[in-house]
Amino acid sequence: MNAHVETPAMGRATRPRAHPFPMLLRREYWEHRGGFLWAPLIAGGISLLLTMIFAVVASVMARRAMADGELQIDGVTINGLDLGMITSRMSPVELQQLGEAFDASLLMASSWPFIVMAFVVFFYCLGALYDDRKDRGVLFWKSLPVSDRDTVLSKVASAALVAPLLATAAALVTMLLFAIIVSVLVAAHGGNAFQLVWASGGPFRMAAFVLAAIPVYAVWALPTIGWLLLCSAWAKGKPFLWAIVIPVLLGVFVWWFEVMGYFGLQAEWFWQNVVARMLLSVVPAGWMDAVNLHAIDAPGDLRDVLNLRAMYSTFLSPKMWIGAAAGALMIAIAVRLRRWREEI
């Protein structure tokens, strides 16, 4: 009787090979977890701490003003800080304005993680390929069965998707805690927290907006990500200076010699569409200048601007895709440079 015996070599031959890209993403996360995760969380915590300090100071000042008879609303002196009584005298328009003010404060409180993320992504891309060459760690990674393309693309994905996802998670936590803090303050002063904070849908609308903005940010940020990775792969030293000086000198050259005048444009066009896109596209909401405001009816307040249909109209903008194509080209050049520029 013949028995089929599977040898270890045969088992290895038939086992499907795992793709290295997830491993590369995990590597980038674990090596930069402090910037990707903890920095946005700490920024959100600082925002909440300052909110509580401001709330305490404002409450103390309001009580002192009431004790001195100086707190007035519509000419009526307020002797007690009763938000329920105050809001009952407001018209529907005033209540709507109050809700918009809360939405704005909610957005400002949750913007701290995104501001920190912009700095993290900028300096992460600058050092992503340069640091490997500086400490010769690139020689180790080249000894593994991992292509230069996958390595560079893992850094692109980390900057364009992983960092924004983690910053968005930190912003959502900040939003939730901020809304809870405001709800407690409103309830403590006799107001209806559900009506003033949650019924308008502000927290949920803002949360949906920042989540939906991730793919828009990922595409919009490609010019800066590509340029910084290109400098990181090419520069023999001081990649930060090269990344800043080259676009700025180009802008000065174009402005000084009035180059854009030959195309019927002003020098400001070059600064906004070339220099700024190369250096500042990783800043959150930088895509707002490409929003098609005609996609919404009568834009005028914050809720009109933070509109999903208007935000996704940026995908119809040539500015979005020209920048993305330029970023993809620079990323491809960075891949080629990494193949032969192994050390500094």
- Backbone torsions φ then ψ of 53, nearest 5 degrees: -65, -45
Mean pLDDT of the chain: 82
pLDDT tens, residue by residue, 103-118: 888 889 899 999 999 9
Higher pLDDT: 47 or 302? It is 47
Query: pLDDT > 90: what percent of the chain?
Result: 48
Residue 13 lies in a domain: no
3-state secondary structure of 17: coil
Mean pLDDT: which of 139-143, 181-185, 211-215 is highest? 211-215
Residue 306 lies in a domain: yes
Residue 133 lies in a domain: yes
Residue 15 lies in a domain: no
pLDDT at 226 over 60: yes
Tokens 């600082």 sit at which residue?
46
Residue 243 lies in a domain: yes
Q: Global pTM?
A: 0.84
Write down the pLDDT at residue 336: 92
Do the beta carbons of residue 289 and residue 243 sit within 8 Å?
A: no
pLDDT at 155 over 50: yes
- Backbone torsions φ then ψ of 77, nearest 5 degrees: -75, 130
φ/ψ bin of 213: left (φ > 0), alpha (ψ from -120 to 50), beta (otherwise):
alpha
- Span 289-312, average pLDDT: 65
CA distance 143 to 141: 5
Residue 254 lies in a domain: yes
pLDDT tens, residue by residue, 41-88: 999 999 999 999 988 887 777 677 666 655 555 544 444 555 666 666
Do the beta carbons of residue 241 and residue 127 sit within 8 Å?
A: no
DSSP readout, 270-300? HIIIIIHHHHHTTSTTGGGGG--GGGSSS--
Residue 2 lies in a domain: no
Do the beta carbons of residue 120 and residue 38 sit within 8 Å?
A: no
φ/ψ bin of 283: left (φ > 0), alpha (ψ from -120 to 50), beta (otherwise):
beta
- Span 306-325, average pLDDT: 90
Structurally, the chain folds into a number of domains equal to 1
- Give the domain range for residue 216: 21-340
Residue 59 lies in a domain: yes
Write down the pLDDT at residue 330: 97
Torsion from C-alpha of 161, 165, 166, 172, nearest 10 degrees: 160
